[in-house]
Amino acid sequence: MDPSPSLSERPATGKRDAMTSDAARPEARSPRGFIDRRARDLAAERQILVAVSEVYERYGFEALDTGAFEYADALGKFLPDADRPNEGVFALTDDDDQWLALRYDLTAPLARFAAENWDSLPKPFRRYAFGPVWRNEKPGPGRYRQFVQCDADTVGSARPEADAEIIGMAVEGLEAAGLPAGAAVVKINNRKLLNGLMTAAGVTSEGQKLAVLRAVDKLDRLGPDGVRLLLGEGRKDESGDFTKGAGLTGSAAERVLAFTAAGGGGRGETLDRLSSVIGGSAEGDEGLAELAAIDAALSALGVGAERAAFDPSVVRGLEYYTGAVFEAELLLPTTDDRGQAVRFGSIGGGGRYDDLVARFTGERTPATGFSFGVTRLAAALKAAGRDLAADARGPVVVLVLDQDRMADYFAVVGELRAAGITAEVYLGTSGMRPQMKYADRRLSPVAVILGGDEFAAGTVTLKDLDLGRALASGVADNAAWRAERPGQMTLPRSDLVAAVRGIVAALPSGAGA
Amino acid sequence: MDPSPSLSERPATGKRDAMTSDAARPEARSPRGFIDRRARDLAAERQILVAVSEVYERYGFEALDTGAFEYADALGKFLPDADRPNEGVFALTDDDDQWLALRYDLTAPLARFAAENWDSLPKPFRRYAFGPVWRNEKPGPGRYRQFVQCDADTVGSARPEADAEIIGMAVEGLEAAGLPAGAAVVKINNRKLLNGLMTAAGVTSEGQKLAVLRAVDKLDRLGPDGVRLLLGEGRKDESGDFTKGAGLTGSAAERVLAFTAAGGGGRGETLDRLSSVIGGSAEGDEGLAELAAIDAALSALGVGAERAAFDPSVVRGLEYYTGAVFEAELLLPTTDDRGQAVRFGSIGGGGRYDDLVARFTGERTPATGFSFGVTRLAAALKAAGRDLAADARGPVVVLVLDQDRMADYFAVVGELRAAGITAEVYLGTSGMRPQMKYADRRLSPVAVILGGDEFAAGTVTLKDLDLGRALASGVADNAAWRAERPGQMTLPRSDLVAAVRGIVAALPSGAGA
């Protein structure tokens, strides 16, 4: 609600006209492609935010938050006043007839901010950002029109060491977010190597180059033999459909395959192998020199090849970036909702793009960055069995058995909260059984019962609600658990806080979820 | 940037066509009424988020995040497909011709969510939310079209104790956010008391009632004598303009003034005074009983009148809410940017509104909540001298004096970061002096210097950058400071981390900002 509605203003929320007739009642539904996220998801996301921010700030990156809107021209889209101005973005016209659009990534706002404030910024400018982005696309399963991204970028440094720093920081950030060491690897490639390869392979046209890239991108799915066909004349798939190939000669195709197979082992070994495939072309040598500098800086930072490897088979994004390109891939075995093993794939990526600010200033400005989807990382952690919010707990619920004793119940929650225990008084008007059901739905570990008997005797009764859930989920063995934790106990009122603390602390991890 | 741009997709950001001609270059500017927020502001906001969330969760409130958009009909606005659909909200039509609008508060999305999920929610439903809201209004100084709110609401409880819990939680939340005890007070009133007063004062029409409310709202500015005139025939101001009064009789006006003056002292005393002014009217008695229950619960929670007081002079929002109404007011003396004392006023508010879900379901659902503007609270904390980010520090900057020694510089930052110290290597290509200027702009406490002499001798030189800033700002006395902290020191390379830690720890609070 509005913090300070004034008497003269019409209420903003329109609550006053809420008691409308049936006919006027809107249906309560969230817009297509937008989701409501509850405590558990948000807890995982907030832990990622806190952990990653701590790392990024330790690397000297400063937080930046821009508004949800940018002028459409700043986003690099031309939005005519036509029937469908919303192609890809959510756009509308402002009072002054300028087109506004919700940001669809965090890079375009950074470009605008950097260009707007270039003179006053310390350079190179290092910033990170967390925030929602919006895509006006057709929603689908797991595909939303709003999601949270986290980006870190260095603007104004052409040094390969700036790439290395971003890579090392991404590695450390993902680990801080909960991925165990070795659970993910950042794969690194370089656009210039690719250009060198194209020269070495005799590729002449942009169309042929794109066909080569598309063929290499299918390496995972088709294997070297399938890709060899696509690099040459073409390939007929199982259904008989023919895909025209890139038209390379046999030796050129082998060179491309040797290039993509140069990864594995130490970063230095990969560089040696690459040198023999594409060495000699000026641009290829430049790319190799950049990767060598990245390797040296990563090694100095203590980031080995098991965490950040050179992998020339990474071609996604190579058309898009201008130099180094990175892709973070989850290595842990993951399972889907039905327990089936699945390949999770990429959890983030980035690279060097040197045209960021030029859109506004006309001056080429080198930049490099890494981006990951926060929701996707949370899903990766969950799929890897690292559910950050698995042991989410509900509050201790103090039941209301005597309406005239509300102050006593509030004194109990006051004591519990002062001891750092999450607690609440039941605030509905239902009887004992619905109150117990409420406590169970809240994933409450303990219900506190204070009725006539307890008030008379100066005692309190605690009901262990984890017990039932643990038994139901098979976490606990009935007999063993019962021997250790009685389902219900009555104790002196003065022992309340200590006893509740004991039960909450004894909870088997994950049983509350 | 897009975490995983595919080869077949056109890059989302349009970076590829960045090198456009001068004529096509857009101006880099943030949209009207939207601001970019940098590290310092965000640090204060994040501290508020973390501290307040911890309190709210300890009270048993669960986090909820809804999407930025709602269907316009769910917001309670009728948005015709007319020339200006954006009156007050940012709205646009979706592919399926439904109107979408960005939320302008966090209450309307809660209403939609609660109605949509009512059957499956534990009831009463307690949720809190942090997030941006958007208002399509004319921007002005300090008045933005996007700002961050924090709301907490209990839906489905008519108990006055639900109000008390919200009030107690708000008090504790504001204190956790950084307001010292006694720096703010939550003032509580009740719509039903007001209705009882109107009956007791013989007010008959809605128009007369509104005139009474408007008069009372001017109490701070005009004092009792001015308000007495406005309650009666009317008042001529200094400029000679006449404001018509509410037309109450003299005794009715005195009753209204007695009502507004009933606050002060303990909550029980205020109730006694109120009882003598409006006791006897059925609705007034109901309001008094509710306040008595709120008093009892607050007392049980340990929240005294110095933190939450009854104040019948609070009339802002009384037209809007249906029962209790709360307003949190900053009591600390505050100063503006020029050091002038200013009255800061309200930092948040809320109350009981029982029609929340009825818009969708037709069923009256009692609800109560408290809301504050996060940016406004951060401003209040700053104005009260509690700037959460006042001691914001920049990174230790390792200067680059020898291009061939980059790996050595990266080893230094690696060591510093491993010790928990924020650090970075300078990644530009400028010489020593611009590098020092860069470090100073970053509010760096220390510059680490490793040149030919240091490499040869196995030493490192540290330059204390806080010194210059502290002297410039008058925080430190030149002679005393210099005796304790030399501006520059050369020491064995192996002592680097310990020495940097010593300098960072010795920083006088606030000197880095």
Residue A282, token pair as written in the block: 């000026």
Mean pLDDT taken over chain B: 86
Q: Is the peptide bond before A124 cis (omega within 30 degrees of 0)?
A: yes
Q: How far is the C-alpha of A186 from the C-alpha of A298, rounded, in Å?
A: 12
Q: What is the mean pLDDT of residues B110-126?
A: 94
Name the residue in chain B with its Cα closest to that of A356.
B15
pLDDT for the residue B474: 64
Q: Number of Cβ pairs closer than 8 Å across A and B?
A: 440
What distance in Å separates residue A494's CA from the closest CA in chain B? 16
What are the residue ranges of helices labelled H in B374-510?
374-383, 406-418, 432-441, 452-457, 465-473, 478-484, 496-506
Q: What is the mean pLDDT of residues B75-93?
A: 66
pLDDT at B408 over 80: yes
A253 within 8 A of A232, measured Cβ to Cβ: yes
pLDDT for the residue A143: 85
Q: How far is the C-alpha of A327 from the C-alpha of A263, rounded, in Å?
A: 14
3-state secondary structure A283-305: HHHHHHHHHHHHHHHHHHCCCCC
Of the partner residues B63, B73, B149, the one whose CB lies closest to the CB of residue A42: B63
How is residue A19 annotated by DSSP? Answer: S
Residues of A whose CB is below 8 A from B346: 3-4
pLDDT for the residue B351: 95
What are the residue ranges of helices labelled H in B64-159?
107-117
pLDDT at B92 over 70: yes
pLDDT digits (tens, 9 = 90+) for B246-281: 999 999 999 999 999 999 889 999 999 999 988 788
Any B CB within 8 A of A187 CB:
no
513 residues of chain A, pLDDT tens digit each? 444 433 333 333 333 344 445 557 889 999 999 999 998 889 889 999 999 999 999 999 999 999 999 998 888 654 444 455 556 899 999 989 899 999 999 999 999 999 999 999 999 999 999 999 999 988 888 789 999 999 999 999 999 999 999 999 999 999 999 988 788 999 999 999 999 999 988 998 989 998 998 999 899 899 999 999 999 999 998 898 999 999 999 999 999 999 999 998 899 999 999 999 887 889 999 999 999 999 999 999 999 999 999 999 888 777 778 899 999 998 887 777 677 787 788 899 999 988 778 889 888 899 999 999 998 898 888 877 777 665 667 999 999 999 999 999 999 999 999 999 999 999 999 999 999 999 999 999 999 999 999 999 999 999 988 777 777 666 556 666 556 556 889 999 999 999 999 988 875 443 333
Please state the ipTM of this predicted complex.
Answer: 0.87
pLDDT at B458 over 90: yes
E strand residue ranges, A396-445: 396-398, 423-425
Q: Which of A415, A327, A319, A312 is nearest to A370 (CA)?
A: A327
Name the residue in chain A with its Cα closest to that of B147.
A67
A residues 48-87 closer than 8 Å to B (CB): 50, 53, 57-60, 62-71, 73-77, 86
Q: How far is the C-alpha of B428 from the C-alpha of A162, rounded, in Å?
A: 9
pLDDT for the residue A286: 95
Any B CB within 8 A of A301 CB:
yes
B15–A76 CB contact, under 8 Å: yes
Residue type, A461: T
Residues of A whose CB is below 8 A from B34: 66-69
Q: Greater confidence, B339 or B188? A: B188
Of the partner residues A46, A58, A371, the one whose CB lies closest to the CB of residue B417: A58
Burial of B501 (0-12, 13-18, 19+ CB in 10 A): middle
Q: How far is the C-alpha of A220 from the C-alpha of A281, rounded, in Å?
A: 28
pLDDT for the residue B414: 95
B70 CB contacts (<8 Å, ≥6 apart)? A30, A31, B100, B101, B103, B108, B109, B112
Q: Strand order of the sheet with strand B146-155?
A: A37-38, B62-65, B125-134, B146-155, B367-373, B346-352, B324-330, B184-190, B308-310
B residues 104-123 closer than 8 Å to A (CB): 104-105, 107-108, 111-113, 115-117, 122-123
B442–A13 CB contact, under 8 Å: no
Residues of B whose CB is below 8 A from A352: none
Q: How far is the C-alpha of B174 from the C-alpha of B347, rounded, in Å?
A: 9
pLDDT at B66 over 60: yes
- Residue B431: which pLDDT band, with cuts at 50, 70 and 90? very high
**Of all residues in chain B, what percent carry a pLDDT higher than 90?**
61
Of the partner residues A67, A407, A441, the one whose CB lies closest to the CB of residue B297: A407
Any B CB within 8 A of A132 CB:
yes
B327 CB contacts (<8 Å, ≥6 apart)? A4, B186, B187, B314, B316, B317, B346, B348, B349
**Bridge partner residues of A334 (DSSP):** A342
A residues 418-437 closer than 8 Å to B (CB): 420-425, 427-429
A462 within 8 A of A500, measured Cβ to Cβ: yes
Torsion of CA B501, B504, B506, B511, to 10 degrees: 180
Mutate to test the interface with B, among A10, A15, A106, A125 (most CBs of B within 10 A): A15
Q: What are phi and psi of B423, to 5 degrees?
A: -155, 155
pLDDT for the residue A355: 78
**Bridge partner residues of B147 (DSSP):** B133
Query: What is the per-residue DSSP string for A74-131?
Result: GGT----SSS-TTSBS-EEE-TTS-EEEE-SSSHHHHHHHHHHHGGGS-SSEEEEEEE
Q: What are phi and psi of B451, to 5 degrees?
A: -115, -165
pLDDT digits (tens, 9 = 90+) for B205-255: 989 998 998 999 899 889 999 999 999 999 998 898 999 999 999 999 999
Q: Which of A332, A314, A334 is nearest to A324 (CA)?
A: A314
B123–A423 CB contact, under 8 Å: no
Any B CB within 8 A of A88 CB:
yes
Q: Give A266-275's long-range contacts (Cβ < 8 A, gap of 24+).
A: A266/A305, A267/A291, A267/A295, A267/A298, A267/A299, A267/A305, A267/A308, A267/A309, A267/A310, A268/A295, A270/A309, A270/A310, A270/A311, A270/A312, A271/A295, A271/A310, A274/A193, A274/A310, A274/A312
Q: Strand order of the sheet with strand A99-102?
A: A69-71, A99-102, A91-93
Residue A346, token pair as written in the block: 């990429």
Please report the domains of chain B, with CATH numbers, ordered by start residue: 39-383 (3.30.930.10), 396-506 (3.40.50.800)
pLDDT for the residue A165: 96
A423–B58 CB contact, under 8 Å: yes
A470 within 8 A of A388, measured Cβ to Cβ: no
pLDDT for the residue A140: 84
Any A CB within 8 A of B23 CB:
no
What distance in Å separates residue A332's CA from the closest CA in chain B? 19
Q: What is the mean pLDDT of residues B438-452?
A: 94
Residues of A whose CB is below 8 A from B19: 355, 358, 364
B154 within 8 A of B132, measured Cβ to Cβ: no
Burial of B66 (0-12, 13-18, 19+ CB in 10 A): buried
Q: How far is the C-alpha of B467 from the C-alpha of A464, rounded, in Å?
A: 59
pLDDT for the residue A373: 93
Residue type, A77: K
Q: What is the mean pLDDT of residues B323-335?
A: 88
Residues of A whose CB is below 8 A from B69: 31, 34, 90, 146
Give the CA distances from residue B70 to residues A25, B94, B103, B104, in Å, rounded to whole numbers and listed in that order. Answer: 15, 11, 6, 10
Residue B493, token pair as written in the block: 């390379």
Q: Is the peptide bond before A508 cis (omega within 30 degrees of 0)?
A: no
